[in-house]
Structure 1
Amino acid sequence: MGAADLVRRRGVSLNIYALHVELSRESNPEYRAMCDLGESVSCSKVFTSRWGRGFGLVQFFVAKDSALNQPNSVLGIIFYSLQMCLGLSLSKKAAICLVLSSWVSVAGSLYLASILAFVLGDFCMVCVSTYIVNFALLFTNLKRRRAIEGMKEKAG
């Protein structure tokens, strides 16, 4: 198992926990997550905010309670799972898809980090950990792509 696999698994784990926190908070408003350390350090506050679903953008196109307006954690679980599946391939196309989707995840992380800091004024340990995972995944996917291209050049 390589570094990219570990990073992807960490991403899935973080997003499963985020989904657990969000669902627990929705069913019990008194629920206090391990990552809720204070008024301005609260992951459940962030996950249940409007930006916790569809990046706060999907609700402009569909109803707020639409099946298309999923929690960001569900999107993250799908993203990291697809990354794991694509990571099984040694093809150049898969490597390029991994890198491109990693760039998209980094852009999403920068967007959500700015919302976290400047709009919500909160610190979310799970969110920041996910942003770090996305940057690490980009780094490992870029490194992997270079290695695959090097293997193809030597073979060809």
Structure 2
Amino acid sequence: MAAADIPVWERKVRMFLGVFGLILSLYALHVELSREHDPEYRAMCDLGESVSCSKVFTSRWGRGFGLVQFFVAKDSPLNQPNSVLGLVFYTLQLGLGLSLSKKAALFLVLSSWVSVAGSLYLAFILAFVLGDFCMVCVSTYAVNFALLFTNMKRRSAIEGQKKKAG
């Protein structure tokens, strides 16, 4: 399977999802940093008391999924905003999406499963702990599920090609 063999739909979908994920992550980071510097900052996604992305991003769960702080200091460089993790994830999805190797396909699928697990965890926190609705967060969850689907299709196609060639 050569790079030219990647279906056009997949290239377009992966590019859209990766770039959209990067934009969402950059915006989330911008909101969090702006709110840290100015507690009165109001983001475009802050539509009301229970529809507030800045409330979510600046909550304990907005950094290290709310879990890292149990292992390192709250202000440790290891306790990064979730949006920074998103930037790394979407960059890897775009970069590794250019490779048609079996290992890259496996990594794409496994990392997507981790992102979906994180999305489900954070969606639970959003709904049942914070009692909030965050449009940026929900959009990110949708991107993660769509990337999982795309990556599973890629892996199946590569596996199918390997079987035909072998």
Using structure 2 for the length normalisation, give the TM-score. Answer: 0.91
Match of 1:20 in 2: 30
- C-alpha deviation, 1:153, in angstroms: 2.5
Alignment partner of 1:45 is 2:55? yes
> Deviation digits for residues 5-42 of structure 1, max 9, x if unmatched?
21111111100000001011111111110100000000
* Uncovered stretches (5+) of structure 1, i.e. residues with no partner: none
Figure out how many residues of one structure are paired with residues of the other and give that number: 156
* Uncovered stretches (5+) of structure 2, i.e. residues with no partner: 1-10
Alignment of 1:1-156 (within 5 A): 1-156=11-166
- C-alpha deviation, 1:63, in angstroms: 0.3
Amino acid at match of 1:137: L
Amino acid at match of 1:125: M
Identity %: 81
Secondary structure of 2:18 counterpart: helix
* The 10-residue stretch of structure 1 (40-49 or 75-84) with the greater mean CA deviation from structure 2: 75-84
Using structure 1 for the length normalisation, give the TM-score. Answer: 0.97
Partners of 1:49 and 1:85 in 2: CA distance: 31
Partners of 1:8 and 1:124 in 2: CA distance: 20
Secondary structure of 1:64 counterpart: coil
Amino acid at match of 2:77: A
Partners of 2:16 and 2:108 in 1: CA distance: 15
- C-alpha deviation, 1:152, in angstroms: 2.4
Partners of 1:136 and 1:109 in 2: CA distance: 12
> Deviation digits for residues 57-109 of structure 1, max 9, x if unmatched?
00000000000000000010011111111111101111011001100000000
Amino acid at match of 2:117: A
Amino acid at match of 1:31: Y
